[in-house]
Structure 1
Amino acid sequence: MARRTARLRRLDNYLGGTDTLPLYEAEIRSTITTLRTGTFSDSTGRALLSLLAEQAQRAGWAAFDGGNENYAATLFTKSRSIAMEIGNQLLAANALALLAYQRASLGRPNLSAAEASRLPTDARFNPIVRALLLERLAFTYAVAGLERQAGHALDEAHDALDQPVDDPAPDWAAWVDRDERRIMTGRVWSELRRPLRAVPELEETLDRFNDMYARDKALYSTWLASAYLDAGEAEQAAHVLMRSKRLCEGIASPRPTARINALRERLLPYRDVVPIAEALA
């Protein structure tokens, strides 16, 4: 069941949340049925509950990606409750981080939830997971306009990701790497309107980013376009925005489109410039 969950998780690399949510909900139902009707040891029961908490987070992410905000928050909250019941601190912290990230993405940062997701510097906690949670904390700080705290959280995330890892990260955090760290760093500085810091991180990393991951590349590119606008480079911002729009066509996620539409509004004062007029069209 854990291997199947890991395989299905990879679908999020290629599909939007509207497409993946029914699959993830089916996995939740299957695990609940096993818990209710199966016969197993206590350790297997805890492992099944841990898997259920993980699956609820994955389904919550799909709901968030598909624009179903209330359902996403309900799933994240349920996941945290299950994780706390079985003493899985990593999953409990990640559920809080996801709740905070969702709120920050909607422009309503929840500092208390984000800060409560921070794990102590302790050999018990996988450094890759710590890096993931710290990056999301930095993003919440950035949306709240707290530059010093955001920079400090980024520094901590960088340090965590550079630590030697004795055990592999859990599968739900295994995608965190140095490229992902650079993208999140660029997004944080873009939110803080610091384009000289944001553009190099985003531009170089997105150049290497495979177009197969269309939703994520389209989404991350909007922070690059925003940074270009803050730097006074409206034509370059329009070019990035057009590329982002092409990438997300047919992807069942409203998140890139919502950011593209917001950036189009910022480009309207430049609509007499031909390349920008083409982007706005």
Structure 2
Amino acid sequence: MRRRDFGKFAAFMAAGLPAWNQPGVTRIGAEDVQRLVRAAAELEAADQQVGGAPLVDTAVAGLDRALALLSTGAYSDATGRALMSATGELAVQAGFLAYDANRHDLARRCYSDSFALASAADDAGLTVHACLNAANQAIALARQNRGSPSYALTLVSRASDLVRGQAPGRVHALVAARQAQAYGVAGDRLGFGRAIATAWRELDAAVNFEPVDDCPQWLRFVNAAELHQHEARGFGDIGDTAQALARYDLTCAEAASPRNAANARAWRAATRAENGDTRGALEDGVEVLGLLEASVASPRTREVLGPVRAVARDASGGDEFAIRFDALTTTAAGSNT
């Protein structure tokens, strides 16, 4: 995936649905819904390769187009519900892309759209997806003293209620992992420990009972590497940096998409910086910068490197990191104006 290919996704989204502003009433059929589902899947796959920043505007434009079709098109009741669900899933995807791009107000708007569509379509699975993604954003903002872990736990509780009684699967592991994240940010060591242990048990059950191809695409990322990263962040949140670093070492050694690999290494770099390992922090940080400069446009990941930038000021060999980090920050700020 290269940045010159980003325009292909805009074209794909443009071709994914009929025009909503053409004369007369637009008739929507099942094939149009499937094109929208495929477009959202393409965006999710692209995000794993290149990050959210270059994709979010395309996703939101597609979302606005789908919302317009819902309000102006003609379709059967069954097609309408399917279109609402597909549009809601696109809204969740757009919300995550906005979150990865540090455009948090836009992410909230997209998640709000997804909740409304889930309610209208009576789609419990979409509600769960939206709850867990919105909780993830709330947890990330809480780490910056800009969000509430209590709000995140409320969202996760709603998701938990909806999946209670379902067969073993990755959704149960993700629910428990989100609980662990929220408890960690809140400083609840006991709650974090219980929740992360549950997440591992649920993942073991999912591996045994749920073939990965049988679960929704948005849950296929839930694996050992993902839980190790949640566990690492939780240990960091409760102040156990030795345990956090041990988990980050595991995460960084496991196979991952380019965006996830960059994010995991950025968190290890930041934790090393906070733990006094300036040399290790800079080594990891420089590697992450290389990914961010070459192929992964993820302002969320760049922001994680803040503690590395702080120690680079007085570190031997830190000048290169500081110059490159500041250049990326300036470029990102200019692209959001």
TM-score relative to the length of structure 1? 0.85
Counterpart code for 1:138: A
Q: Work out the CA distance in 2 between the residues paired with 1:25 and 1:49.
A: 15
1:191 is displaced (CA, Å) by: 2.8
Q: Work out the CA distance in 2 between the residues paired with 1:66 and 1:169.
A: 27
1:138 is displaced (CA, Å) by: 1.9
- 2:222 matches 1:190: no
CA contact under 8 A between 1:101 and 1:136: conserved in structure 2? Answer: yes
Residue number among 95, 120, 126 corresponding to 1:60 in the alignment:
95
Are residues 245 and 193 of structure 1, via their aligned partners in 2, closer, same or farther at CA, if it must alter by over 3 Å?
A: farther
Structure 2 counterpart of 1:252 = 297
Q: Work out the CA distance in 1 between the residues paired with 2:175 and 2:250.
A: 24
Structure 1 counterpart of 2:74 = 38
Are residues 88 and 259 of structure 1, via their aligned partners in 2, closer, same or farther at CA, if it must alter by over 3 Å?
A: same
CA deviations 1:171-219 (Å, max 9, x no partner) are 1222211221212222222233312212222113313345xx4433222
CA deviations 1:71-130 (Å, max 9, x no partner) are 111111221122133332232233233223213222234233322223146332663122
Residue number among 110, 116, 120 corresponding to 2:148 in the alignment:
110
CA deviations 1:131-161 (Å, max 9, x no partner) are 2232223222222222222222211211211
**Corresponding residue pairs, total:** 275
Q: Residues 203-222 of structure 1 correspond to what in structure 2 (within 5 A)?
A: 203-209=249-255, 213-222=257-266
Structure 1 counterpart of 2:195 = 153
Residue number among 236, 258, 277 corresponding to 1:233 in the alignment:
277
Query: Between the two proteins, what is the percent identity of the paired residues?
Result: 24
1:3 is displaced (CA, Å) by: 2.9
TM-score relative to the length of structure 2? 0.73
Structure 1 counterpart of 2:183 = 141
1:11 is displaced (CA, Å) by: 0.7
1:13 is displaced (CA, Å) by: 0.8
Structure 2 counterpart of 1:101 = 136
Are residues 181 and 48 of structure 1, via their aligned partners in 2, closer, same or farther at CA, if it must alter by over 3 Å?
A: same
CA contact under 8 A between 1:109 and 1:144: conserved in structure 2? Answer: no
1:242 is displaced (CA, Å) by: 1.6
1:278 is displaced (CA, Å) by: 5.2
Structure 2 counterpart of 1:122 = 164
Show structure 2 runs of 5+ residues with no match.
1-33, 324-337
Higher Rg? 2
Show structure 1 runs of 5+ residues with no match.
none
